[in-house]
Structure 1
């Protein structure tokens, strides 16, 4: 079975090829791309498209690789021993399984998402090398070795906040999700807003790509922001003429709060509008 995209996710030919190649090679698929290009959603849709269960491990700055394997709760065991609880004699009662253990122990192949791996410490990827390579790990407290019943399909996302180690990169199949072009973006919009008027979509896309092309933006609006903005335009019944006949002296698009996410970018567009007004008077 191959991943062909789903009705909720527009996958380019390159992306479909990357997913299927990683599955065929039995290597983790490392997905990079700017925020809002659908990296996390890809794992959800791959699981749906292949009919497999999805396990999600969302990485934070404090996350340690060991937590993906298991955690031993020594504090609870000490407390229970002081209370005379019989379960202290079985150390496995204090072993909490991580997402990797869950994926390894599943009776059927699952999709495992390791989301935003670059948020963690630089050593985090290296600490998982052996486990991802050999598909097994040792539980020191119980002496058992956990081996994967079925090699999971592993999808790892990164926002490029940190460089990942070479040894880790060698073990992955890599794909960079380019920002969607206008044609692909229209297909994405059609999935999320099938009832939107085409004239409104066309004008909104024009404004959206114009804003993205402005030099000096701190955060360019992404796909998710476009989807939210269109939803607001439709909810407020904003006529597409307002977008079509936009005035350069009013560079800020209507309901801009869905598109622009910081005051520097708002001020930048305001300055552009001011400069346009001065030029028009001259």
Structure 2
């Protein structure tokens, strides 16, 4: 399967991982630092294939059953009290989840299960059968929902929790490495093709220096770099101004796009003081 995008830089390794998962008919499990484009990959893949993207965003309270369907017993009770004829057909109260929608799509969709590690530790195991068999049973109606065509399943994780071995065995795994400088320049060029070379060279040098500061709670990511560059362009901050900030030991202009914790700001400020001495 060819996967090219004008708005998303796909490394050779990542493209190979997508194709391997499709060939093996297994979910592609993506890990990597937040902001490295795991979620964006699903969006771009669906766009490249001209197909539907179904996104199941996982929260700490999400249960696996919600991805299959939910039975709205409260609405049925209310309708029963009001004497509605709807109550005689229980299917009126079955709400299909994202897996159901993916299984019954007319065309092969991309199904994104986003940030699976946010859920309860048993959540991945509760999906093993459905992801293996591409089918599930609706107990309230006796219906068997089976995938018309196997969806392309992408699962993202930020490593907040370890995933069970049984679940990992059923996935093709790929870790998105943080881009090197050359790749970041490609990414920047996609978003800001007219940016001055001196500005991007200076900004990237300072960005990588910032990521190397020891003890940061959160290193700035690719998405935050793009936000920062957008602000630099909007505020017409020059490469010389960036260099001057560095030489004077001040925080970088508009550093709130890069540093998101008070202790990180204090750490960078203290390091700058030490270097001035």
2:121 maps to what in 1?
A: 122
Matches within 5 A, 1:163-174: 163-174=162-173
Alignment length (residue pairs)? 277
Residue by residue over 1:66-97, the C-alpha shift from the partner in whole angstroms, topping out at 9 and shown as x without a partner, is 00000001111011111100000000000000
Q: TM-score, normalised by structure 1?
A: 0.96
Query: Hey, what's the Cα distance between the residues in 1 that align with 2:184 and 2:137?
Result: 46
**Are residues 95 and 243 of structure 1, via their aligned partners in 2, closer, same or farther at CA, if it must alter by over 3 Å?**
same
Counterpart Cα distance in 2 of 1:32 and 1:121: 18
Match of residue 35 from structure 2: 36
List gaps (5 residues or longer) in structure 1: none
* 2:236 corresponds to 1:237: yes
Q: Please tell me whether the aligned partners of residues 68 and 98 of structure 2 are also in contact (alpha carbons under 8 angstroms).
A: yes
Q: Deviations over 1:90-141 (max 9, x none)?
A: 0000000000000000111100000000000010000000000000000000
| Matching of residue 2 in structure 1 with residue 5 in structure 2 | no
Aligned pair 1:156/2:155, yes or no?
A: yes
Once the two structures are superposed, residues 155-181 of structure 1 have per-residue CA deviations (whole angstroms, 9 ceiling, x without a partner) of 000000000000000000000000000
The answer on whether the counterparts of 2:245 and 2:253 sit within 8 Å (CA) in structure 1 is: no
Contact 1:251 1:272 in 2 (8 A): no
User: 1:151 & 1:266 partners in 2: Cα distance?
Assistant: 47
Q: Which runs of 5+ in 2 are unaligned?
A: none
Query: Which residue number in structure 2 is paired with residue 264 of structure 1?
Result: 263
| Contact 2:108–2:151 (8 Å) recurs in 1 | yes
Q: How does 1:132-281 map to 2 (within 5 A)?
A: 132-277=131-276, 279=277
Does residue 57 (structure 1) correspond to residue 56 (structure 2)? The answer is yes
What is the rounded CA distance, in whole Å, between the counterparts of 2:255 and 2:242 in structure 1? Answer: 12
Alpha-carbon distance, 1:193 to partner: 1.0
How far apart in 1 are the matches of 2:137 and 2:231? 52
Does the CA contact (< 8 Å) of 1:103 and 1:148 recur in 2? yes
Paired with 2:137 and 2:240, the residues of 1 have a C-alpha distance of 64
What SS does the aligned partner of 1:125 have? Answer: helix
Q: Which residue of 2 aligns with 1:25?
A: 24
The RMSD of aligned alpha carbons is 1.0
Q: Is the 8 A contact 2:246 2:252 kept in 1?
A: no
Distance 1:246 1:76 in 2: 61
Matching of residues 69-88 of structure 1 within 5 Å: 69-88=68-87
Following superposition, the deviation at residue 2 of structure 1 comes to 2.4
Deviation of 1:51 after TM superposition, in Å, equals 2.0
Cα distance in 1 for residues equivalent to 2:243 and 2:214: 22
Whole-Å Cα distance in 1 between the matches of residues 131 and 138 of structure 2?
Answer: 16
